[in-house]
Amino acid sequence: MTTENASTESKLNETEKKRALSGLTLAELTDFVSELGLPKFRAKQIHSWIYAKWAKSFDEMTDLGQELRAKLNEVATIQFLKLAHLEVSRDGTRKYLFELPDGQLIESVLIAFEDRDSLSACLSSQVGCAVGCTFCATGYLGFKRNLTHQEIVDQVMSIQRESGQRVANIVYMGQGEPLLNTDTVISSIKTLMNSVGIGARHITVSTSGIVPGINDLAAANLPITLALSLHAPDRATREEIVPITSKYPIHKVMEAMHDYVNTTRRRVTIEYVLLEGVNDSEEQARMLAELVKDLHCNINLIPFNPTMNKEGQILYQRPDIRTQKRFRDISGRTGKTVTIRLERGTDIDAACGQLHNKFLAAKN
């Protein structure tokens, strides 16, 4: 770690006192300009500079006038999240580690999937996660706190400003369980749609199966995609790897997923991390096919991305390609589309929580 000299430190303190505007809603920006005694239309101008033009500084906001720009420079900044670390993978995946105002760290990833010509951003919804899945690096971190609306939205804006590339798809698949922070996630989705300009159909929320959260998301009735991280069709295996199953059993989660489809009329996704010798048997593939037979869904198989727990152990292995394909073929027998997810960014630890853990280990 580098030691900062006194002048850099005082400069940093000055910046910290300023109000950061990126990630705020138009209503929040309107309150901000009113506090400065400015007319409301100034909020609209600033909103457009931040979200449509990805401005990095007030100096770019030419229609505000020099005097106002100077005033804004004194009291505010654009950037909210601090970039603590960036890794770029050979395949172009960009993995960001952001520092929050209280010093906590979160991860976001910018991914170019080969089958799409648009970019996807993978967002965090919490610092750490309380669900504690036994194969997940974020689960190993434990739960620290929920993210705020601004902390979620500014992940996208920070990525766009840094990379200069437009994010077209959003997946809530970074750190955290989005449906244990449902109200904030729903309000962030609305800002991504209305301010950032991302189509609802290009937004996916992934959950480990939090029944009240699924019901709340259904009630919000947004035309987004809901993905369920099922990972096992039988209770014993699921309880072992996704411990929240003891609170929300599979049949209750499936009931909530059916209700979700009935309310929103949207096709859902079933995610299934393949762990060798744990959930990859032919019998489990048949059980999975049976379990989701009547659900309007696609199935996404995710070959396990090896992660180390706190003791430095890797608890699982990825099944070989033959097993993966056999599982795909059997689980698709009732007519569902089953895909094996392509890996992106594995040379930079792009699975959720992995960069965070590596960074903390290096710091200690």
Contacts with ligand SF4: how many residues (CB under 6 A)? 12
| Pick from 81, 79, 90, 93: nearest CA to 163 | 93
Q: Does 127 bind ligand SF4 (CB under 6 A)?
A: no
Q: Does 181 bind ligand SAH (CB under 6 A)?
A: no
The DSSP bridge partners found for residue 126 are 146
**Contacting ligand SAH (CB under 6 A), which of 146, 245, 264, 307?**
307
Tell me, what amino acid is at 340?
I
Contacts with ligand SAH: how many residues (CB under 6 A)? 18
Taking the C-alpha atoms of residue 146 and residue 187, their distance in angstroms, rounded to an integer, is 14
Strand order in the sheet with 268-274: 82-88, 94-99, 105-112, 119-122, 167-172, 203-207, 225-229, 268-274, 297-303, 338-340
Report 147-206 residues binding ligand SF4 (CB under 6 A).
176-177
Residue 214 binding result from ligand SF4, ligand SAH, none, given CB thresholds of 5 to 8 Å by partner type: none
Residue 132 binding result from ligand SAH, ligand SF4, none, given CB thresholds of 5 to 8 Å by partner type: ligand SF4
Q: Does 139 bind ligand SF4 (CB under 6 A)?
A: yes
Q: Does 138 bind ligand SF4 (CB under 6 A)?
A: yes
352 in active site = yes
**Contacting ligand SAH (CB under 6 A), which of 305, 323, 331, 357?**
305
DSSP class of 343: P
Taking the C-alpha atoms of residue 270 and residue 222, their distance in angstroms, rounded to an integer, is 19
**Contacting ligand SF4 (CB under 6 A), which of 208, 264, 331, 357?**
208
Q: Does 302 bind ligand SAH (CB under 6 A)?
A: yes
Q: Does 173 bind ligand SAH (CB under 6 A)?
A: yes
Three-state SS for 143? Answer: strand
**Phi, psi (deg, nearest 5) at residue 209:** 110, 50
Q: Does 135 bind ligand SAH (CB under 6 A)?
A: yes
Binding segment (CB under 6 A) for ligand SF4, from list 40-48, 71-79, 124-132, 293-301: 124-132
- Residue holding tokens 């800002």? 191
Taking the C-alpha atoms of residue 150 and residue 43, their distance in angstroms, rounded to an integer, is 16
- The active-site residue, picked from 87, 107, 151, 177, is 107
| Cβ at position 361, least distance to ligand SAH in Å | 17
The DSSP bridge partners found for residue 86 are 96
If the CB atoms of residues 57 and 246 are measured against ligand SF4, the closer one turns out to be: 246
Taking the C-alpha atoms of residue 206 and residue 227, their distance in angstroms, rounded to an integer, is 5
Tell me, what amino acid is at 228?
L
Tokens of 220: 């919000």
- The active-site residue, picked from 133, 136, 297, 352, is 352
| Pick from 288, 280, 263, 354: nearest CA to 321 | 280
Binding segment (CB under 6 A) for ligand SF4, from list 7-15, 99-107, 115-123, 134-142: 134-142
**Contacting ligand SAH (CB under 6 A), which of 21, 106, 232, 273?**
273
| Cβ at position 362, least distance to ligand SF4 in Å | 22
**Contacting ligand SAH (CB under 6 A), which of 147, 254, 351, 355?**
351
H helical segments located in the chain: 6-17, 26-35, 41-51, 66-75, 137-141, 149-163, 182-191, 211-220, 235-241, 250-264, 282-291, 321-331, 354-363
4 in active site = no
If the CB atoms of residues 78 and 274 are measured against ligand SAH, the closer one turns out to be: 274
Residues designated catalytic? 107, 352
Q: Rule CB under 6 A: which residues touch ligand SF4?
A: 129, 131-133, 136, 138-139, 176-177, 208, 229, 352
